[in-house]
Chain A
Amino acid sequence: MNPDNSSLPEPGPDCADYAICARSLVKRYKNAADPALNNLSLDVRQGEFFGLLGPNGAGKTTAISILTGLFPPDSGTARIMGMIFRESEHEIKQILGLVPQNIGLYDKLTARENLTFFGKLCGISGKKLTERIEQGLEFARLTDHARQPVATFSTGMKRRLNLAVGLINDPQVLVLDEPCVGIDAQSRNLIHEQLTAINQRGTTILYTTHYMEEAQELCTRIGIIDNGRLVEEGPPAALLQQSGMYNLEELFLHLTGKELRDS
């Protein structure tokens, strides 16, 4: 176990071997008593399926926001494929895909129109865009519903399309913020299968979830975050073996406590 993440080795001069490389990230929100991120360091290797777990308010969304360039940290550095946002924001955003927790789709547009719009904003056009749209629809199993407005979709269909839109630019690094919330087993199973396939093709995935079994099934490595710090990280099987726990949920509660996190 390695709870003191600040002792992580410096991964080369430009974090070149790492898809995501965060060092000593600190973020404090206005009027908040404690920092949302408290010296968080995190490495995700290229091609890795990394699960970021943590109770409510642990700092997962703040970490994701910094790692996707939505806002800068108060201090510390975050590198994506060796680049930092301050210098290469546009380049990073070209190779980054984000699937937000809240569904980021226009209800009044059809599935195809949503894919087209976000694809064009990524700078994709012509034949390439048409191919990506078809791939996205096929990926989300929505080819037959391509002309339907998103408003008519079930939650599962929306979640699948939400994911397909995040993949429209064929990202090297895909960040997913709880992509399977509130959907049925069939849709969740499809998403899991598709994410595994994407990861096997070489896409690095950073995945946050509250479902421990999901993390155990999908992730090659997990990190447990609490109070803005990484409290544990490693492959799920190794962590369970080291801790002597039966499952990730038990380990999670052991590390983060059973106290309710309502704030």
Chain B
Amino acid sequence: MLKIITATAKELLLLLRDRTGLLVLFLMPAILVVIITLVQENVMELTGQKKTQVLLLDLDQGDLGRSLQTQLKTGNLELVVWDEKQKDMAAIQAAVAGGDYQVGIVIPKDASSRFKDAASRLFQQGKGTENPPDSMTTPLHLFIDPGIMAGLRSGVTAQLQMALTVMSQEAKITILSKTLQEAMTSLHVPPEAAPLDSSRLPALFGQPLLTLTENPNSTQTTITSYKPVQQNVPAWALFGMFFTAIPIAGSILQERNSGIWVRLMALPVSPLVLFAGKAVAYMGVCLCQFLLITLIGAFLFPLLGLPAFTIAMNLPAVLLTVLFSSLAACGYGIFLGLICNSYEQASTVGATSVVAAAAIGGVMVPVYAMPHIMQRLSIISPLNWGLTAFQDLLLRGYSLSAILNDLGRLLLFFAVCALFSWKLAKRQQ
């Protein structure tokens, strides 16, 4: 144990003396987490996970426009209403085509009266046997930026379509209610003898009979929606942690390529003790990295207009995940230091493998957004195990028991790396 402490102290001393290296270790994930989160905030808007701005030009200025605005108030669209006296349809078309706005909607002049008229005529035609002609519909003009993602396009059109359907239904029910009332009056049916109060029809039709319940079996009281901050802070902290594999490998290669390794192997100390010293020292670095990135998420992000990162729930489990992830990263670094022959080799192999593991692990793009084959591949990435554990804790609100599998995988990865490293060290002697 004393020898592990000695080896750890030496590693920490060497790290502290290499200020440039230390700065890179902390600066790199810190810069990445800020940039990527800022970028992803915008991506969230583009993918419809944040309110999307929709331009509205109401040339009609009637009930239809007011009703549409009321309907969209509760949805995920933010209406930007243009003044019809200053703008026309060409302007809205140009704004969308130029990429200033992704969606624009124009309510043509006299659309409200045409709409009401069409609704009235619909019930008059209801007496006949023929279907109502298409010319009865009132066209609203929609402009969509061809560059927007398919998911956002369908999300926006679905919300608009839903609003229009509800407005059409309301108009029909209003006419139906009025028609029924007129019929009962003409038949001299006293109001108390009528089977239903026709004036209450709109309210009755508005009563939902089917509802969607989200995650009915969840023990959570509130379901947290996806937030890039909660995803990015642990994801890029993990990325930074696994990048420490390169300086660990570098420190081993420096020893191997000088007389230090030969001297160490001739001392009454096992290579495993030396590896343990390195692992403990760099796990400390990883913990500090996570702390720094957490502080950036909690205090710097709000200053940049981003939501603050919160870690309040299940802190011990989060720290355990950090610990196991850093253990896996250190194991990989030690293995890298023994399998490579030069620092150049280790930095190239290390950087490439960590970036690849981060990519397939879901650090850069969520796993569910990947092709099926990549989704299946993602389970071999240690970064995926760490990230899944973090997401389970921070996004899904699960407890420690839910992440035990992922922690076990990280521990096993470390054990396998340590075993191979020990074998390699013995062989290289």
Contacts and interface: CB of A to CB of B under 8 A. Distances in A.
A152 to B, nearest CB: 12
Contact of B260 (A70, A89, A90, A106): A106
B262 interface: yes
A255 B385 CA distance: 64
A162 B259 contact: yes
Judged by DSSP, the binding face of B is helix
Nearest to B274: A121
B266 A93 contact: yes
A104 interface: yes
Contacts of A125: 2
Interface string A7-21: 000000000000000
B288 to A, nearest CB: 19
Contacts of B264: 104, 121
Contacts of B263: 98, 100, 104, 118, 165-166
Given A100-B263, A102-B259, A108-B18, A117 B10 contact: yes
Interface string A95-116: 0101011111110110001000
Given A113-B13, A120-B6, A125-B2, A102 B262 contact: yes
Contacts of B268: 89-90, 93-94, 121-123
B258 interface: yes
Contact of A71 (B259, B267, B269, B429): B429
Contacts of A123: 3, 268
Interface size class of B (residues with CB under 8 A): 20 to 34
B429 A70 contact: yes
Contacts of B266: 68-70, 93, 96, 98
B3 A104 contact: no
Contacts, number: 75
Contact of A70 (B7, B258, B262): B262
A65 B429 CA distance: 9
A106 B252 CA distance: 12
A106 B10 CA distance: 9
Contacts of B2: 120, 125
B372 interface: no
Contacts of A106: 10, 14, 260
Nearest to B260: A104
B429 A109 contact: no
Nearest to A93: B268
A178 B222 CA distance: 72
Nearest to A120: B6
Contacts of B258: 102-105
A72 to B, nearest CB: 9
B265 interface: yes
B188 interface: no
Interface of B: 2-3, 6-7, 10, 13-14, 17-18, 258-269, 429
Given A70-B266, A118-B263, 13 more contacts: A70-B262, A98-B262, A98-B266, A106-B10, A108-B17, A117-B10, A120-B6, A121-B268, A121-B269, A122-B267, A122-B268, A149-B17, A165-B263
15 contacts: A70-B262, A96-B266, A98-B263, A102-B258, A102-B259, A103-B259, A104-B264, A108-B14, A108-B17, A109-B13, A120-B2, A120-B6, A121-B264, A123-B268, A165-B263
Interface of A: 65, 68-71, 89-90, 93-94, 96, 98, 100-106, 108-109, 113, 117-118, 120-123, 125, 149, 162, 165-166
